[in-house]
Structure 1
Amino acid sequence: MATVAADPQGKLRELTDEYTKLQQEQQKLIVAQQRLNAQKTENEGVKKEFEKLKDSETIYKLVGPVLLKQEKFEADSTVKGRLDFIDKEIGRLEDEIKESNGKMDAIKDQIMATQTSAQPAQ
């Protein structure tokens, strides 16, 4: 009888380890999503500032220790491109987080089923 009880315990440990691993991976995804949201907010602020500028005004871009003159159209285009990229990455991360939640729910169900089946054996 002890071997029957040990097998569900081993499975429980395995499932719990897998669940913990998924939680850690999900935490990394959430941190990356928060970082991208901060970058998005910053770039949206830059875009709003560009909208206030006239086409004839000068924009300078910091490249290393040097300020380089940049056309408004080019700077605006760069910021819009960044925002598009950031939006796509946020969407990708949201999908990964949803997928991770689904996997975690499935493992949670397996853990509960394993615990339930192990109880009569004890």
Structure 2
Amino acid sequence: MASMKELQQQLEAKAARLAAIQKDIGKNHQVRRQYTIQHGENEMVQKELELLEEDANVFKLIGPVLVKQDLAEAKANVNKRIEYILAELRRMEGTLKTLEEQQRNSQEEVMKLQQRIQLAQTGKAKS
């Protein structure tokens, strides 16, 4: 059977891994929130572009300059951007599911180690 010191070291390592996973989950939630906001903004732009007449002037902001852009090109760019954002959101969902599963497993491992330590301590106390 592992010594108390070894169990403590294992517990610390597992707890550190759990903390790292939780940090990654937080970062992924933040990135997903940003993509969700961008998706909403781009859908608004897409709806606005659909309202325009074919001969309407469309300008794109590049740095400090407004550059005239073809309406069809502007619509295509927005559509591509929306497709990219949706693909990233799907990827983020998969990553989050994986991380949440790792978090559950890591929490279980930490709890099992804590129980082993408690059992070992109560065994020493009875001796």
Report the TM-score range of the alignment, normalised by the length of the smaller protein.
over 0.9
Query: Which runs of at least 4 in structure 1 moved beyond 3 Å after TM superposition?
Result: none
Aligned residue identity for 1:105 = R
Say what the alpha-carbon RMSD is for the aligned residues.
1.4
Give TM-score, length-normalised by structure 2: 0.90
Give TM-score, length-normalised by structure 1: 0.93
Please state how far the C-alpha of 1:64 moved relative to its aligned partner.
Answer: 1.7
Counterparts of 2:11 and 2:69 in 1: how far apart (Å)?
60
Counterparts of 1:5 and 1:104 in 2: how far apart (Å)?
25
Identity of aligned residues (%): 30
**Aligned positions, number:** 121
Q: Which runs of 5+ in 1 are unaligned?
A: none
Q: Which runs of 5+ in 2 are unaligned?
A: 122-127
Counterparts of 2:52 and 2:84 in 1: how far apart (Å)?
24
- 1:19 is matched with 18
Counterparts of 1:40 and 1:88 in 2: how far apart (Å)?
11
- 1:51 is matched with 50
Please state how far the C-alpha of 1:120 moved relative to its aligned partner.
Answer: 2.0
Counterparts of 1:36 and 1:107 in 2: how far apart (Å)?
28
